[in-house]
Amino acid sequence: MIPAPREPAAGAADDLGAPASPDDREAATRWALAARDGDPTAQATFIRLTQAEVWRFTAALVHPDSADDLTQETYLRALRALPSFAGRSSARTWLLGIARRTCADHLRTVVRRRRLDDRLLAHAHTDDPHPDPAGLLGAADLLSRLPAQRRGAFVLTQVLGLSYAEAATVEGVPVGTIRSRVARARNELVEAVGDALAG
């Protein structure tokens, strides 16, 4: 369920007021411009005035369970971009544009992860040229034991055949981090197979 806009806290409104109606939403733009100029109170007020609307928007575009994180990411991006906000459009329009891009980026990531999961699942159900000598562990079982970051690096490089540099781009980390994650994943997989054979 998407909540209704929050009422401003008592004593929070001053001469700029809260954007309680469509006619009064220019107050958010004035607060954004003041925040852009370095006023920390204006920054907090701008967030407070617009937060419920951004949350409702992200909840509607993606899902209410993701709305808190997406709202937070929207404000992180907005605060980084605030120095370039010129006020040519309303702050509300500007901010909701950032929220839309944040949601689109999130959905693209979800789709990429689902495609990767589908490929892994398809790979796990094909005849493997290197069968498990113990007959106890499947590739999917072994991979599922790895922490998510190591699993991602290992699958990208060892299963899907991406270079370390390509995997680093996909994961958004340095190449050295990918190398480290793959090395640790290999060690964990060797230990898991050893434990199964000894078990």
Domain end, chosen from 65, 96, 121, is at 121
Q: Using CB atoms within 10 Å of the CB of residue 118, give its burial: 0 to 12 exposed, 13 to 18 middle, 19+ buried.
A: exposed
Residue 26 lies in a domain: yes
Residue 32 lies in a domain: yes
Domain end, chosen from 88, 121, 154, is at 121
Four-residue CA torsion sign, 38, 44, 48, 49: negative
Q: Using CB atoms within 10 Å of the CB of residue 11, give its burial: 0 to 12 exposed, 13 to 18 middle, 19+ buried.
A: exposed
Residue 10 lies in a domain: no
Helices assigned H by DSSP within 62-154: 64-81, 91-124, 139-144, 148-154
Question: 56 and 90 share a domain?
Answer: yes
Question: 48 and 99 share a domain?
Answer: yes
From first to last of its 199 residues, the chain has per-residue pLDDT tens of: 334 444 433 433 333 333 334 444 688 888 999 999 888 999 999 999 999 989 999 988 888 899 999 999 999 999 999 999 988 878 888 999 999 999 989 988 888 878 777 777 766 555 555 544 444 456 777 777 888 888 888 877 887 677 888 788 878 889 999 999 999 998 888 888 777 777 5
CATH value at residue 150: 1.10.10.10
Domain of 47?
A: 20-121
Q: How many domains does the chain have?
A: 2
Q: pTM here?
A: 0.51
